[in-house]
């Protein structure tokens, strides 16, 4: 059953309960805030999430978590970059925290076929790990 509203006739005091129209339902849904997208996740959370989505192997997740070593698919992306961007990207990847607003992250995820909405969901899910 959808949302209901109470209509009051102020002349008679009679109350009637009726369902929202489709437009009222859509307007009410639009007012419900979506999930908060974390500003950052840890390298550990990212590795666990990538592993759970079969983006990397278990060994790659361990190396990534322990020492910031990029998984093979990420390293391949870095290897296609020119210097000094390549070195800066590797340093960024080895950071303890990954920030959602980092352009490198968006580029890496896009290279893996992910949309911005999927990256947001990745961060939301990873933050729970």
Instruction: Please list the rounded mean pLDDT of every run of 10 residues in the chain (129 residues).
Output: 85 90 86 89 97 96 96 95 95 95 90 92 96
Alpha helices in the chain, H assignment, sequence order? 22-31, 43-52, 58-67, 72-79, 85-93, 103-111, 116-126
Output the pLDDT for position 105. 87
Output the pLDDT for position 1. 61
What does the alpha-carbon distance between residue 104 and residue 58 come to, in Å, rounded to a whole number?
23
What does the alpha-carbon distance between residue 116 and residue 27 come to, in Å, rounded to a whole number?
24
Tokens of 129: 């790990």
């Amino acid at each position: 059953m959808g949302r209901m509203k109470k209509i009051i006739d102020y002349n008679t005091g009679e109350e009637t309960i009726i369902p929202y129209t489709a437009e009222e339902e859509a307007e009410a849904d639009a007012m419900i805030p979506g999930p908060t997208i974390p500003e950052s996740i840890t390298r550990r959370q990212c590795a666990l999430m990538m592993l759970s989505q079969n983006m990397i192997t278990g060994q790659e997740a361990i190396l990534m978590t322990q020492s910031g070593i990029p998984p093979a698919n990420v390293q391949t992306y870095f290897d296609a970059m020119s210097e000094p961007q390549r070195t800066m990207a590797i340093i960024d990847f080895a950071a303890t925290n990954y920030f959602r607003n980092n352009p490198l992250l968006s580029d890496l995820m896009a290279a893996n076929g992910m949309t911005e909405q999927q990256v947001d969901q990745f961060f939301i899910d990873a933050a729970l790990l």
